[in-house]
A and B are shown apart, each in its own frame.
Chain A
Amino acid sequence: MSSVLILNILWQISILAMVTIGLGIVFGQLKIMNMAHGELVMIGAYAPVITASLGLPAVLQVPVCIITVGIVALILERTIIRHLYGRPFDSLLATWGVSILLREIVELLFGRGYQSVSSPLPGTMSVLGTDYPAYRIVVIIGVFAFFAILIAWYRRSAIGTEIKAMVENCELAHACGINTSRLSSLCFVFGALTAGIAGMVLAPTIRIEPMMGLDYLIRSFFSLVVGGLGSVEGLMLGVGIIGGLQSALGAAFDQTYGYLGILLLSIFFLWLRPNGIYSSR
């Protein structure tokens, strides 16, 4: 295996992990199957485009991304998601509608065509004996650092405990004085923001278009299927397997085979290990 392939796989895995964590939080903790998760990635990816069209300097794309995705997520939570906590099937339907709506709005604003943005960190770095885009290296390191901090924080902080209590028994947590409705919306917005940031980070390396979100939704869902819900270990394992398999098959044959590979693997898992590798129970 060449070192470029290894780095490519690492890149795919870290992006996928960043997308999947949000879907996992919202699905695992709030029992909301957010079909619009991919569209939040897509909106995040448009953040640099929005920044440019507003005439703002490129540095501001991070706050622009957070504000845009945050507002969209907050509106969604207040108007739609709020009524659907704990109802995975109904949430699937409603967010499916939301995903269509978001795509159509973005298409209306920016057109159906491809957009591209330039990398904030052009140039390459020499890693593992090959030259690799410096931007991707930074992102890989950044994502892993983010996960390390998130895990440490979730284990120690009071909010982490409150979330666990809410997931375990929402009514009791509410009775114990935890503001579950604020906590839920916090969870949802946080999940959305991670998706948005994943999209923004991804933006310089892909063609940005309104339909791009679907692909990320499916791959991150498959990662959850394979890895199992409810633990970061499971998530990383799932992301590793799905991201790795797709990149490897994609490199060896072509993208369609990579896609077919992960699809078959996921069906196989649903059939034989419906709770994934790392099931929470």
Chain B
Amino acid sequence: MAFIVLVNAALLAVLLAIPFLFDSYIVYQIGLYLIYGIAAQGIGYLWGRIGILPLGQAMFFGLSAYATARILLHFDSLSLQLILLAGVMLVAGLTAFLFASVVFKGRSDSGPFFSLITLALVIISEQVAGTATAITGGFNGLSGYNTLAGIDQFGGLYLMIVGAVIFSTVVLMSFDRVPFGLVGRAMADNEQRLQLLGFPTHIIKGAAFAVSAVFAALAGILFANHQGIVTPTSTGFLLSANLVIWTAVGGRYHVLGPLLGAVLIGYLSSELRDSFQYWEVLLAILFIVVVLKAPGGLGELVDKSVSRLLVTKKATAKRVFHDAPPGRIGNWQSAVQFNDVHVKIGPVKILNGVQFTTFPKGILCIIGPNGAGKTSLFNAITGGLRVSRGEINVDGKSISNRSPHQALRSGIGRKLQVPSVFHSLRVWENLCLSMLAGRGRIPDYFKPSSFHWQSRALQQFLSVPHIPLADRSDELVSSLAQGHRQFLEFAMTIAAEPRILLLDEPCAGLSTDETQLMTRVIKQYQTANDGLIVLIEHDMSIVKSIADQVLVLHQGKVLANGTYDEIKSNDSVRDVYAGGTK
């Protein structure tokens, strides 16, 4: 908290000093680029934190500016104006939210398509603004309105802009210090894991896009007041492109970076564009260099030199935990029923009518040769693969063909074959995300106190001797050994206390000691939770030590099931493992 106050006080001091240092025209220009900077901060947040690059942010900027001009033209009462302007920001946010959550639904990447659609949107909004003369005034634009509360464009408005800049900076910096920001960084890192932890990532992306749209709208509102005229260029492609360049050069990973980029590059551009004809070319080259060689931009440069000047001691405070609120996993009966389940990928048949019902409690091991469809069966359960025929039921309800993020809601947690964790985050941040999974309500994501949650299952797991995580909570996951990542992912999966736990080769890559430890914590979880654990395993000694029942899959079908000894003496199972083709 102290850091946010400090940075913003410094920012405020600098911005307030500007009117005393420069003449009013320069202050006016700086005000304009600060306005653009607010919109760029929104882009920086979305691009640097969430990993989505919006190429059409000027659409929200320009359309809000038009709306502001219209509001100021038609309404005189200040309170009404303020309410309507707040409405403009709200509408921008809601539209952005709906749009992004629709486009991202059913996907687990932020591929280039979203950027291109936003690009198309801004081009079309510029066209519409130029042609819908009755509403927008066409190419002449809208003008002749008074500013909000009659504020002086060359005086008081600058203070209003400074207020808005401080507001956006405080909001974005606070995001970094609450779980909402952590979820965003996790999304840029590993969206699939986040979905398996029950986070509806398309909704989160929608929310993040809405945040950036609201900032663009706020900037647009100020812009309309500042310029006194709104033309189609304010919602155009060129402004969008410039906003992205300023953000990149200023530094997308830093809250103040885009602001710096907008003021510095924007101001330089306006000065040099006419006198130095190679300026735009130079700027384009600068952008390419930043993208390829210095993705942190100026922000990182400044940040590094500041932290070099102010060497601060890193205090590793003892983490305090309190009990997490109860999960929202319903009291589902945990037997899984496979009813003639078929899965096809293209022409290849993966599952050919799996017919089986598990017991509600205990440890079920799935074995089978490579390509038998073991992992695909898990994918069908958690929604990564489409079930083309038949269905999977839990507690009498069909769970096939849902989104991956819905699995946890019906009590299903899953550990993947290759440990899937958030590599760029610290161990405690990984665990924290898994604690929020299925427990956090929207307000919890904006409270720093939610960082300190710990569930009974996680506490129990971490207190087991020799678990290689307890003393590494501040380490980056990318520096953990493969085996330790297995334990981390296991911990993250059980933290939410799922009733049905799917484990895909949890002992792969573990030493003998670690394997014993792993089987012990698996058993321990089953005893404490009294639910179902389904385990894919190749190592028969592990199967023998852990399984209450064994299921053999072969060529996408159930070949046999029974106790370990029954399976061991089953002739058809022997044939398959001995190389027979039955």
* CB of A137 within 8 Å of the partner chain: no
B103 contacts A271, CB within 8 Å?
Answer: yes
Instruction: Give A215 to B326 CA distance when docked, in angstroms.
Output: 53
- The smallest beta-carbon distance between B201 and chain A, in angstroms, is 14
> B121 is contacted by which of A88, A90, A263 (Cβ under 8 Å)?
A263
State the interface size on chain A (CB cutoff 8 A).
38
With a CB–CB cut-off of 8 A, which chain A residues contact B292? 80, 83, 94
Q: Is the CB of B128 within 8 A of A270?
A: no
- A104→B273 CA distance, assembly (Å): 12
A96 to B247 alpha-carbon distance, docked (Å) = 14
Q: Which residues of A contact B287 (CB under 8 A)?
A: 97, 100
Chain B proximity mask over A243-263: 1 for CB below 8 Å, otherwise 0: 000000000001110011001
Task: Known contacts A92-B53, A101-B284, A271-B105; decide if A266 and B117 are in contact (CB<8 Å).
Answer: yes
Chain B contact surface mostly? helix
Chain B window 51-91, contacts with chain A (Cβ cutoff 8 Å), 1 for yes, 0 for no: 10101000000000000000000000000000000000000
What are the residues of chain A within 8 A of B291 when measuring CB–CB? 90, 93-94, 97
Question: Is B281 touching A104 in the complex (CB atoms < 8 A)?
Answer: yes
Interface string of B283-313 (1 = CB under 8 A from A): 1110110011000000000000000000000
Q: Is the CB of A92 within 8 A of B103?
A: no
Question: Within 8 Å of chain B (Cβ to Cβ): is A42?
Answer: no
Q: Is the CB of B106 within 8 A of A33?
A: no
0 or 1 for each of A63-94: is its CB under 8 Å from B? (1 = yes): 00000000000000000100100001110111
Determine whether the beta carbon of A260 is less than 8 Å from that of B124. Answer: yes
Kindly list chain B residues whose C-beta atoms are within 8 Å of the C-beta of A1. Answer: none
Q: Which residues of B contact A173 (CB under 8 A)?
A: none
Flag whether B10 is at the interface (Cβ < 8 A): no
The answer, yes or no, to whether A281 is at the interface (CB within 8 Å) is yes
Interface string of A270-281 (1 = CB under 8 A from B): 110010000001
Any chain B CB within 8 A of the CB of A188?
no
Shortest B439–chain A CB gap in Å is 30
A100 touches B241 (CB 8 A): yes
Least Cβ distance of B139 to chain A in Å? 14
B542 interface contact, C-beta 8 A: no
B112 lies within 8 A of chain A by Cβ: yes
Contact A96 B117, beta carbon cutoff 8 Å:
no
Q: Are B277 and A89 in contact (CB under 8 A)?
A: no
Instruction: State whether the Cβ of B515 lies closer than 8 Å to any Cβ in chain A.
Output: no
B107 on the A face (CB < 8 A): yes
User: Is the Cβ of B121 less than 8 Å from the Cβ of A89?
Assistant: no
Q: How far is the CB of B138 from chain A (nearest CB, A)?
A: 13
**What mask results when residues 197 to 238 of chain A are scored 1 for a CB within 8 Å of chain B, else 0?**
000000000000001001101100110010000000000000
In the bound complex, what is the Cα–Cα distance between A97 and B55 (angstroms)?
Answer: 12
Contact check: which of A93, A267, A271 meets B53 at CB < 8 Å?
Answer: A93
CB distance from A125 to the nearest CB of B (A): 33
Give the distance to chain A from B238, nearest Cβ to Cβ, in Å.
9
Residues from chain B with Cβ under 8 Å of A263 in the complex? 117, 120-121, 124
A158 at the interface (CB under 8 A from B): no
Determine if A274 and B119 form an interchain contact, defined as CB atoms under 8 angstroms apart: no
A2 to chain B, nearest CB (A): 25
Q: Is the CB of B346 within 8 A of A281?
A: yes
Complex CA gap A254/B128 in Å reads 11
Which residues of chain B have C-beta atoms less than 8 A from A94's C-beta? 288, 291-292
Whole-angstrom distance between the alpha carbons of A15 and B128 in the complex?
A: 25
- List B contacts of A256 (CB < 8 A): 124, 127-128, 131
Residues A108 and B112 in contact, CB atoms below 8 Å apart = no
User: Quick check: B237 and A270 within 8 Å, CB to CB?
Assistant: no
User: A274–B119 Cα gap in the complex (Å)?
Assistant: 18
With both chains docked as a complex, state the minimum distance between the C-beta of B22 and any C-beta of chain A, in angstroms.
30
Cβ contact within 8 Å between B244 and A96: yes
CA gap between A222 and B112 in the complex, in Å: 12
The A-contacting residues of B in range 231-273, CB under 8 angstroms, are 237, 241, 244-245, 248
With A97-B288, A100-B241, A267-B117: A281-B345 Cβ-Cβ less than 8 Å: yes
Shortest CB-to-CB span from B355 to chain A, Å, is 27
In the bound complex, residues from chain A placing their C-beta under 8 Å from that of B110 are: 89
CB B294 to nearest CB in A, in angstroms, measures 13
Complex contacts, B103 vs chain A, CB 8 Å: 267, 270-271
Question: CA A225 – CA B128 in complex, angstroms?
Answer: 24
A259 and B127 within 8 A (CB): yes
Measured CA separation A222–B124 after assembly (Å) = 14
Which A residues are CB-close (under 8 A) to B115? 92
A–B Cβ pairs within 8 angstroms, 22 of them: A80-B288, A83-B292, A89-B51, A89-B53, A97-B288, A104-B281, A105-B281, A107-B280, A108-B277, A108-B281, A211-B237, A214-B123, A218-B120, A254-B131, A256-B124, A256-B131, A259-B123, A260-B124, A263-B124, A266-B120, A267-B102, A267-B117
Q: Which 7 A-B pairs have the closest CB atoms?
A: A101-B284, A97-B288, A33-B112, A100-B284, A97-B287, A104-B280, A92-B112
Measured CB to CB, the residues of A under 8 A from B are 33, 80, 83, 88-90, 92-94, 96-98, 100-101, 104-105, 107-108, 211, 214-215, 217-218, 221-222, 225, 254-256, 259-260, 263, 266-267, 270-271, 274, 281
Known: A218-B116, A221-B113. 15 other contacts (CB 8 A): A83-B292, A89-B51, A92-B53, A93-B248, A94-B288, A97-B291, A101-B285, A107-B280, A211-B237, A214-B119, A217-B116, A256-B128, A263-B124, A266-B120, A271-B105
